A and B are shown apart, each in its own frame.
Chain A
Amino acid sequence: MFVFRRWLRKRSGKLPAAMRDWTEPGTEFAQDPQANLKLLEKTFENCSDVVFQNVKLPGEREALLIYLDGMVDRQLLDQQMRLGAVARDRGGAPASPGKLAEELDSRLGTGGTRTVNTLGEFAKGVMGGQVGVVLDGEPCILIVGAGRPPSRSVEEPQAETLIRGPREGFIEQIQTNMALLRKRFPTTRLKMEPFTVGELSDTKVVVAYLEGIATDSVVLEVRNRIARIRIDGIVESGYVEEFIEDLPFSPFPQVLNTERPDVVAAHLLEGRVAILIGGTPFALLVPMTFWSGLQSAEDYYERFPIGTFLRWIRFAHLLIALFLPSVYVAISTFHQEMIPTNLLMSIAGAREANPFPALVEVLLMEITFEALREAGVRLPKQVGAAVSIVGALVIGQAAVQAGIISAPMVIVVAVTGIANFSIPRFNFAASIRLLRFPMILLAGTLGLFGIGIGLLGILIHLCSLRSFGIPYFSPVAPLSFGGLKDVVIRSPHWAMKLRPRLTGYQDPVRVPEGQMPRPGASGKQGNQGGGAP
């Protein structure tokens, strides 16, 4: 510990005090065309994807187009240049770049054409996929809209599959993602505030919320936390998540992530705030509660009894995933009198040839299981099958037959694994997976008493945790009975009349009264509600 701290101090002494400023220099263009050209060549030196293309325009004018290969639609560019040239021809005298830009802007369907005066702005534009035009060596014009960065099409999300529900998933391009959201809320109340994060990556981050529904304080907090981020580059949503969490050292995730626009839409309707990030198909949702880690979108798409049943299954499996191995260790090494006699006999019979104490056995198996799972996820699909063969044969059979691991332990670990898979949110399930190990150690040293301590610790932590100011364990602690009908059960949509108490309550009503379908209710009452006639 001490050595480590000294090492840390030594290392940190070498770090520069401040972060380097990566913004492009604001050099202005000179009057001399040759000097400008040199400057541009120097700026784009060694950027082999930048194309310098000389174009002869009618009227003996020469234009130099500078753009990124692969980021620009060439056909569109050709077309636009021709249109621009025609525009100039009609005017007779050669137009100044400013005039030309104006003309292009009004003529072209893409819009956003402008002139820039500084090298920095020019370079930034070109790097962002715009086309730079140097007309007769004069200061430059930028054409926006010809850019077409590479992207894939909208596909079904891989990480969150549903049986019933939309098949659209977010993609890496943020514009598409915003469109997917806007498609669901064609209203101006859906606000999408842009931010740019990352000194080098210039990643676009968009904060989306429904105005008037989302709690203002939460929106404000999200804005502040995102604006505060200073980093060289954002590669994935996880980078942002770690900067905006409430308690970075908690084992529980405080920000929800999803690939599904429909999940985002549902959360927006509950008054939550979505954060879209360029370059990743994952959107972040805040504030998160403990219970949303146990909810799947399908709970709301299937009929409510099924949703309720599935929720209960998940609650049970959450407990199993967290406690089964530790309870097994505790009871089989400390409290044998608690096991029914017949069960004890079969466990004892199975453990007879076993050389390891239960604690060591369970740790061995859990670690092997985690390794198998990890290997299965990382391996290429062609090799993946080998993992399951090795796993099933080596652990499932050989270890038991060789008498190294007892059969009940294999069952315990397998059931725990399956239980963990039934938790729908991957990052939430991973935190349960992590917590299992301290629980096993506690159980192996202190028995059920240790499990009690561990459970208490987890509960205390959960009750004190907050996500963007909203208690993590709500609506159970602090208790709000209205909220329980979306936690303990999944009540039908016509019965979930109000938004959650802690988010979206400034406009609480989601569903008016009297929407429960019943014979004879339609036609007479309309949807204004108010009991049967």
Chain B
Amino acid sequence: MKGLGTLKRCAVLAISCTLLAGCWDRKEMDDIALVMASAIDQLGDGQIELSLQIALPTGIPGTLQTGGKGQKPVLVVAVKGKNAHELIGQAQQQLSRKLFFGHRGVIIFGEEYARRGITEVLDTLLRFPDSRYNSFFLTARGASAKEILTTPYHLELIPAIGMKIMQNSQYTVGVKIDRFLDHLAADGTMPYSGAIRIVKDAQGEPTFQIDQVAVYRENKLAGYLSGKSLQAFKMIKGMGKGMKLTAEVEPKGPETQGTITADVLSVRSKIRAFYVKGTPSFDLTVNVDSRGLANDSTLDISKTPNLLRAEKALTDELNERLTDLLTLTQREFKSDVVGFGRELHIEHPKAWKKLKKRWTDLYPEVPVRVRARVHLERIGRTQAPGHLELPE
């Protein structure tokens, strides 16, 4: 080095840094296999099965290359083995391109696998530098995860992208890895994820639908929320906007169903925790602002008494749903998926210290007072419904 100028010294240093350090993680786009979704299933013999949905770029139309037509846009690879890392290695042995998990949008757990516990996969996910924390977790219902991955979906080229878009919308409950892990690790709340199942479309072809929520107890699947209890769950979790609430305001008439439907504009839910004489209890308040969406009754809700009656009916309906949900999570799932424990932790940290260890066992017996209130902000019309008789 003697006799070289500063500039040359720097150049030598820079060149040797780039060439000798071996930090060369260049991977060309045509050398990688883009994993769009992965699925994990429990097999009968104690092995687990990993399925990967891999995008085939040649199958994507719209490029100048011809021959893309008729080709499938995805490939599903499935391997069996003992643990997740070993499985990835096995899958790699089937592929000429390097597996690339950077674009994995969804991770699906088979129902059976989820019931056995998902800790091991979570560990793999956490250690695996390639996996992104913004992939969605989904739990399969009534089918193995592999079946869901192989189900065709026609609206998007790649089914996994379809799932991801569905999960991003407000119509499904989407839980990404980071939130799931957060719920799992935090005291006083339990994780949940969207649940996906296979349904038949109008032509009788199978397709998938994400309309439920899988509730976990610690790392094990406890059960599914669907229908009204799912609605109540979304209300509490602040995802209620756009939801429809239907309540009966009068007995079914000859021409009318006697129901009023409201479109939820905003939800404010609040949990208050109390700790009195060593026993915790909770207040669950849900305030809903809504607008009238449909009036299938003889009531003219532009009149104040009728409006109040409608609000009362809607409030009762919501109350019932919330109570049902709580019964379900407390009695059946025994899982504090709503997060009452977390609230207790915030409001009564000292009490929480004592109860923390036993909280999972305590939760099913905790009293919760439900206080719902639905407010019809707008009646949704500027005039009386057409089917009501006009005053003479």
Contact = CB atoms under 8 A, between A and B. Distances in A.
Nearest to B26: A333
A344 B62 contact: no
B59 to A, nearest CB: 8
Interface string B316-329: 00000000000000
A357 B28 CA distance: 6
Contacts of B132: 337
A25 B332 CA distance: 116
Contacts of B64: 350, 400-401, 407
Contacts of A348: 29-30, 34, 55, 57, 60
Contacts, number: 79
Interface in A341-358: 341-342, 344-354, 357-358
B62 A349 contact: yes
Contacts of B392: none
B18 A345 contact: no
B60 A336 contact: no
Interface string B373-388: 0000000000000000
A291 to B, nearest CB: 28
B60 A332 contact: no
A345 B29 contact: no
B161 interface: yes
Interface in B115-160: 132, 157-158
B4 to A, nearest CB: 10
A445 B26 CA distance: 8
Contacts of A342: 161
Q: Is the interface of B mostly helix, strand, loop or mixed?
A: loop
A514 interface: no
Contact of A341 (B28, B58, B103): B103
A336 B18 contact: no
A333 B65 contact: no
B27 interface: yes
Contacts of B57: 345, 348-349, 351-352
B308 interface: no
A437 interface: no
Contacts of A349: 57-58, 60, 62-63, 65, 68
Contacts of B161: 341-342
A44 interface: no
B100 A346 contact: no
B339 interface: no
Interface string A43-57: 000000000000000
A352 B30 contact: yes
Contacts of B25: 334, 447
A407 B26 CA distance: 21
A403 interface: yes
B158 A351 contact: no
Nearest to B158: A345
B95 interface: no
Interface in A460-519: none
A358 B55 CA distance: 20
B29 A332 contact: yes
B364 interface: no
B105 interface: yes
A347 B32 CA distance: 13
A345 B157 contact: yes
B157 to A, nearest CB: 7
B127 to A, nearest CB: 17
A468 B162 CA distance: 61
A352 B34 contact: no
B159 to A, nearest CB: 13
B102 interface: yes
A446 interface: yes
A333 B28 contact: yes
A358 B28 contact: yes
Interface of A: 332-334, 336-337, 341-342, 344-354, 357-358, 400-401, 403, 407, 444-447
Counting from the closest, the 5 A-B pairs by CB-CB distance are A337-B102, A348-B57, A349-B60, A349-B57, A349-B63
Interface of B: 18, 25-30, 32, 34, 36, 55, 57-58, 60, 62-65, 68, 100, 102-103, 105, 132, 157-158, 161, 164
Given A336-B27, A352-B58, A447-B25, 14 more contacts: A332-B29, A333-B29, A334-B27, A336-B29, A336-B103, A341-B105, A341-B161, A345-B158, A348-B30, A349-B63, A354-B30, A358-B29, A403-B65, A447-B26
